[in-house]
Amino acid sequence: MTTVLGCIADDFTGATDLAGLLARSGMPVSLRIGVPDAPPRDTAAFEVIALKSRTAPVAEALAQTRAALAWLRQAGAQRFFWKYCSTFDSTAEGNIGPVAEALMVELETDLTIYCPAFPENGRAIFMGNLFVGRQPLAESPMKDHPLTPMQDSNLMRLLEPQVTKPVGLVDRHTVVQGASALKTALARLRIGGVAHVVVDAVADSDLSVIAEACKDMPLMTGGSAVAMPLPGLYASDGLLTGAVQGQPRPALGQGTIVLSGSCSSMTNAQVAAYRALGAPSYQLDPVQLAQTGAQGALDWLAQQSQTSAPLIYATADPASVKAAQDHLGTARAGQIVEEALAACAVAARDRGVDRFIVAGGETSGAVTQALGVTRLNIGAEIAPGVPWTFCRSGGRDIALTLKSGNFGQEDFFSDAQSKLEQS
Residues 245-264 that bind ligand ADP (CB under 6 A): 261-264
Binding test (CB under 6 A) with ligand ADP, winner from 404, 408, 412, 416:
404
Q: Which is nearer to ligand ADP, 185 or 366 (CB)?
A: 366
CA–CA distance from 383 to each of 217, 401, 402, 403 (Å)?
30, 11, 11, 9
Binding test (CB under 6 A) with ligand ADP, winner from 45, 314, 348, 416:
314
By CB under 6 A, tell whether 321 contacts ligand ADP.
yes
Listed in sequence order, the DSSP H helices in 201-355 are 204-214, 230-236, 265-276, 286-292, 295-302, 318-328, 330-350
CA–CA distance from 61 to each of 232, 256, 263 (Å)?
31, 33, 24
Q: What is the nearest approach in angstroms of ligand ADP to the Cβ of residue 329?
A: 10
Q: What is the nearest approach in angstroms of ligand ADP to the Cβ of residue 106?
A: 27
Q: Which is nearer to ligand ADP, 25 or 363 (CB)?
A: 363
Local structure of 312: helix, strand or coil: strand
Local structure of 311: helix, strand or coil: strand
* Pair 217, 79: CB distance under 8 Å: yes
Task: Candidates 210-218, 243-251, 299-307, 358-366: pick the segment binding ligand ADP (CB under 6 A).
Answer: 358-366
* Pair 262, 337: CB distance under 8 Å: no
Local structure of 74: helix, strand or coil: helix
* Pair 263, 316: CB distance under 8 Å: yes
Q: What is the nearest approach in angstroms of ligand ADP to the Cβ of residue 321?
A: 4
Question: Which residue, judged by CB position, is nearest to ligand ADP in the bound state?
Answer: 405
* Pair 386, 16: CB distance under 8 Å: yes
Binding test (CB under 6 A) with ligand ADP, winner from 158, 333, 378, 398:
333
Q: Which is nearer to ligand ADP, 250 or 296 (CB)?
A: 296
By CB under 6 A, tell whether 324 contacts ligand ADP.
yes
By CB under 6 A, tell whether 408 contacts ligand ADP.
no
Binding test (CB under 6 A) with ligand ADP, winner from 6, 116, 222, 361:
361
By CB under 6 A, tell whether 337 contacts ligand ADP.
yes
Q: Which is nearer to ligand ADP, 186 or 258 (CB)?
A: 258
Q: Which is nearer to ligand ADP, 86 or 162 (CB)?
A: 86
Angle at 117 between CA 113 and CA 118, to 5 degrees: 140
Helices (H) and strands (E) in the chain, counts: 15, 18
By CB under 6 A, tell whether 95 contacts ligand ADP.
no
By CB under 6 A, tell whether 340 contacts ligand ADP.
no
Residues 52-81 that bind ligand ADP (CB under 6 A): none
| Cα 162 to the center of its chain, rounded Å | 20
In the chain, the amino acid numbered 392 is R
For ligand ADP, the binding residues (CB under 6 A) are 145-147, 261-264, 267, 286, 314, 316, 320-321, 324-325, 333-334, 337-338, 360-363, 404-405
